[in-house]
Chains A and B, each alone.
Chain A
């Protein structure tokens, strides 16, 4: 059974810092990995999608990497801003295109 773990559960950093969020999964037979952002009381917004054949994806200040063999992904946020404060969720797609989610990392950027 696929299990996804995100560390740390919560992170608080000052504005302007670069930071890394971690995601690990137990079964390397994945189709892809997706990072989402969720603001309090809101839905999920897709940030980056990495196919199993890819090593990384970039969007603006965000960069996501994937190492299937070790079962790890990282989300790098450059020059963090208070507006980046949210919960970040990692999810992997396995059989029948079903997503398995991690518990999320609650990120706070302090002005």
Chain B
């Protein structure tokens, strides 16, 4: 089992560029999440999915879009990157019924 993997590990964008972050899990988990981690702000939920084909907004969804076309993949898109989106992004999936969350290694994104 690879667990939760994230692609890419690092990325530098210019303001206005777009990109997609990929999260994949091989544990057959239904629920998947995208968080961002910023100094002094802790981890904040961006979007989440409770199953294939579903998505929902979290605490800080503005400027991001997501898709869950396959159960094992959860994509996070930035349509027009802004410097405020410079952050470390973590993907997670949940094992039911005990609700233990498993995290990916993170993607460090810098927007210039």
Contact = CB atoms under 8 A, between A and B. Distances in A.
Contacts, number: 58
A101 B43 contact: yes
Interface residues of B, number: 25
A98 B49 CA distance: 10
A42 interface: yes
A44 B90 CA distance: 9
A51 interface: yes
Interface of B: 31, 33, 35, 40, 42-45, 48, 50, 56, 58, 90, 92, 94, 96, 98-106
Given A34-B101, A99-B43, A101-B42, 12 more contacts: A45-B103, A46-B103, A49-B98, A51-B98, A91-B101, A96-B50, A97-B99, A98-B58, A99-B33, A99-B45, A102-B42, A103-B40
